[in-house]
Amino acid sequence: MRVFDRGSGPPVIVVPGLQGRWEWARPALHRLASTCRAISYSLSGDFGSGRRLRHELGFENYVHQLDEVFDTARVPRGVLCGVSFGGCVALHYAALHPERVSGLILASAPGPGFHPSPQQAAWIARPWWSVPAFVLTSPLRVWPEVSAALPLQKRLAFFARQGIRCLTAPMIPSLMAARIREAAHVDFVADCRRVAAPTLVLTGEEHLDRVVPVGSTRAYATLIPRAEYRTMRHTGHMGLLTQPSVFADVVSGFAHAHHH
């Protein structure tokens, strides 16, 4: 099991999004490691995860894997921070293993009952055939968010760095589609009722998130007992990427407040 593990302080395990690669979050993880023990990993089945995907387990693959992450890092208890799809994994794990989760952060996670948009559904139905269109249209889809988050002189550099990350830590489209289908079989509403850890629900601004409606994520703040809600300004779904320092500072503040 290969794990990113840097820094000292309250342990924070960052569960990556649908693309499955921890490397995409590298800037935020390094910032987080300056104040916390930042831990992350690639999801089962992905290149570099070191963990085979067991198809008979479905979504539970990611629960078993998180157990391995805790054990490999020798962390008996820590804060779970799930980003996008990773928030679904973190929530389900926190519901099943409250003894290991001192705090829970759900960042732009699809809420209970989330349904892909027609365009997203088309990509899920034909993941490999959709790659060319997905790649070519990505800059246009994320441009409003990048423009809001970054000054003009930094935008092209952001796209260049993100492009390099995508090339060096490639996603597997068919695996991403399978993850969405597997998550549809989990009762996340029931999971919300079982969460005992202090919880932070974090989103970007509503008009800038073109991936998961902010209202879908915000529903967790109502469903999870005593959860708090925060908005990151000037970003949408990609605050982890466009504003890594701000994202890391929010996560660090929560982790220190709930470290015990």
Q: What is the pTM of this model?
A: 0.94
Percentage, residues of the chain above pLDDT 90: 75
**What is the rounded CA–CA span in Å between residue 156 and residue 235?**
17
State the pairing for strand pair 4-6/37-40.
antiparallel
Average pLDDT, the chain: 92
CA dist., res. 107 & res. 232, Å (int): 10
Q: What domain count does the chain have?
A: 1
**What single letter denotes the amino acid at residue 106?**
L
Q: Among positive and negative, which fits the CA dihedral 22, 77, 239, 16? A: positive
For the CA atoms of 185, 208, 18, 200, what is the dihedral angle to 10 degrees? -70
**Structural domain containing residue 56:** 4-257
Q: For 165-219, how does the pLDDT look when each residue is reduced to its tens digit (9 = 90+)?
A: 888 988 898 999 999 999 999 999 999 999 999 999 999 999 999 889 999 999 9
CATH number at residue 80: 3.40.50.1820
Average pLDDT over residues 2-22: 95
Q: What residues pair up with 106 in beta bridges, in sequence order?
A: 82, 201
Q: What is the mean pLDDT of residues 135-155?
A: 86
Please report which confidence band the pLDDT of residue 260 belongs to, taking 50, 70 and 90 as the band edges. low
Residue at token pair 């391995």:
68
Burial zone of 19 (CB within 10 Å; 0-12 exposed, 13-18 middle, 19+ buried)? buried
Output the six-digit token pair for 72: 């490999």
Amino acid at residue number 221: A
Edge-to-edge strand ranges of the sheet holding 4-6: 4-6, 37-40, 11-15, 78-83, 101-107, 199-203, 228-231
Please compute the mean of the pLDDT values over residues 88-100 and round it to a whole number: 97
In angstroms, the CA 182 to CA 87 distance is 14
